[in-house]
Amino acid sequence: MATEIKAPVFPESVADGTIATWHKQPGEAVSRDEVICDIETDKVVLEVVAPADGTIASIVKNEGDTVLSAEVIAQFEEGAVSGATQTQAVQSETEASVEQAAAKTEAGNAPIVERQQVQDQAPAVRKALTESGINAADVSGTGRGGRITKEDVANHQSKPAVPAAAPLSVAVGERIEKRVPMTRLRKRVAERLLAATQETAMLTTFNEVNMKPIMEMRNQYKEAFEKRHGARLGFMSFFVKAATEALKRYPAVNASIDGDDIVYHGYYDIGVAVSSDRGLVVPVLRDTDRMNYAEVENGIRAYAGKAREGKLAIEDMTGGTFTITNGGTFGSLLSTPILNTPQTAILGMHKIQERPMAVNGQVEILPMMYLALSYDHRLIDGKEAVGFLVTIKELLEEPARLILDL
């Protein structure tokens, strides 16, 4: 019985999506809850799974097509091919093909296909590998999680043999251009960043913080912390807790502008900017005033893992009253972060650099970090912005203030 496969129901903030990848083609067997399609939206990549065991009857929306919420993207034939029958058929076909490959090898025509490597692949890929006599280990997978697709096998077959020594004249003077479409996420990020620079009165103030006290505390307690909480003690948890305390003292920095109204938030949801292969994403830590250091570290680590795997949900990135971005992980010494609207401020962390500093009339070499606070001058005055940043500086240079709530 044919049924319709529909796109997921998008949240109100997402108008439409684009078919990014079809992992299954018409006629291919699928199992229940197996990923058959990826849909890319402005914020996340959504996975469409098979509703039951069966086969893909037809594809309505091809790769690159725009789809709306709950729109039909494919036709599905439930129970058309049972999983057990399909598996047995593929195994029989695989064994026969391996025997044929072995026979050809004896004649000097093709290499033997390792049976275990073949059986680890998807049915369609197993068939392509055994028919072509290609070793699975020699094929570079471009599918999710490094899986091999049929296209990978075909591309490997058509790939020309690499010459032992390519002529030098081939590379000299060669000018290559490659034009690829911008992903929806990167387009959306570009639109928001441009809007923030054009629609806000953005200003940036700077300060510097001596990281020696936090580094000493971290080195002293990191092993005990990891043993107790199962999480590594990093610098980000100190900055999140310091920012949370500063937001309590300066409510305007935690507010947002909605039309002609100012919205003061009585909660503290801090977004942490994370770089991914698809672009910049900002997952949000909820109620950071109620979180301890271990919960902050675990939350950031979980979000970073989701970002790398493309598993972040829209709920993970909606909301937020303040944002922290750390360009120091890439070696940035100083920058002016752009507001994540409708928020009115963003804190920029940077690289820790040893510099000579004057301390009590003496020159000392200290690990210093520049801090940058970009803020919307329509709502936040310079006095509040500077006071907010100085508060963070003081809390980080004297960590006991954070612990003792001073």
Place of tokens 């077959």: 157
Q: Is 381 a catalytic residue?
A: yes
- The token pair that represents 397 in the structure block: 């240079």
Do residues 370 and 364 lie in contact, with contact meaning Cβ atoms separated by under 8 Å? no
- How far apart (Å, rounded) are the C-alpha atoms in residues 312 and 40? 12
Closest CA to 36 of 184, 165, 144, 117: 144
Closest CA to 319 of 292, 343, 348: 343
Which residues neighbour 176 within 8 Å (Cβ) at sequence distance 6 or greater?
A: none
Let me know how long the chain is: 406
Do residues 122 and 147 lie in contact, with contact meaning Cβ atoms separated by under 8 Å? yes
Q: Is 377 a catalytic residue?
A: yes
- The token pair that represents 340 in the structure block: 């994540």
- How far apart (Å, rounded) are the C-alpha atoms in residues 86 and 67? 31
Catalytic pick among 65, 138, 289, 377: 377
Catalytic pick among 65, 138, 289, 381: 381
- How far apart (Å, rounded) are the C-alpha atoms in residues 22 and 39? 9
- The token pair that represents 405 in the structure block: 């709530």
Place of tokens 């890439």: 330
* DSSP structure class, residue 343: B
- How far apart (Å, rounded) are the C-alpha atoms in residues 292 and 393? 20
Which residues neighbour 180 within 8 Å (Cβ) at sequence distance 6 or greater?
A: none
- The token pair that represents 2 in the structure block: 């044919």
* DSSP structure class, residue 192: H
Q: Amino acid identity, residue 203? A: L
Active site residues: 377, 381
